[in-house]
Copies of this chain bind each other. A is one copy, B any other.
Amino acid sequence: MHHEEATIRLLETAEKLFYANGVHAVGMDAIRTHSGVSLKRLYQCFPSKESLVEAYLLRRDKRWRGRLADFVAAHAESPEDAIPAVFDWLHTWFCEPDFRGCAFINSFGELGSTAPGVAAAVRLHKELVHAYLLELTTAVAVKDPEELANQLLSLLDGATVVAAITGDPAAALPSRAAAVALLTLQLRPA
């Protein structure tokens, strides 16, 4: 098995186990067992657990934002449609059987105060999501794209948290309605 293939299998295993169970509930032995990569190779690819966690978060960030952007691009016919489409995608995400909330919020709560690299990865992810939302709000003629993007980010994170805790994917719906209301309010001020 090559170094690169081992790295990929480790990252896939890490994402599955860390996301499903939390970081500190998953030992390096579990990563080894589920990935089929030996411990020696594991530590060649990632010199510590923390570095594996950081790599897992960076990879998940790319994939998560990619899935969101792809869905929105495929389902939104106009810039105005893009914003509700974000929350439609949230809803489909919440409905996935292994949904367990936002990996970044969970990791931040678990490790944010002890692992600076993890905290930085979480901040980076939220900044990139914010930048994406700002793209969407800038594409429509609203008065204050920055404020609307901030509001959408809060709605997005809030819906994710509520859905994770209650276990109810319908938590996306009120946030979607709120997003649409805030958007139309900025488009056609009362």
Residues of A bordering B, CB below 8 Å: 20-22, 24-25, 100-101, 104-114, 122-123, 126, 147, 150-151, 153-159, 161-162, 164-166, 171, 174-175, 177-178, 181-182, 184-185, 188, 190
Judging by beta carbons under 8 Å apart, are A123 and B22 in contact? no
Q: Which of B100, B105, B108, B158 contacts A156 (CB 8 A)?
A: B158
Residues of B within 8 A of A171 (CB): 150, 154
A184 CA to B182 CA in the complex, in Å?
11
- Beyond A109-B109, A147-B177, A151-B174, 9 additional contacts (C-beta under 8 Å) are A21-B114, A24-B110, A101-B108, A154-B161, A154-B178, A157-B162, A181-B182, A184-B190, A185-B190
Known: A150-B174, A171-B150. A122 touches B22 (CB 8 A): no
Known: A123-B165, A154-B154, A158-B157. A25 touches B105 (CB 8 A): no
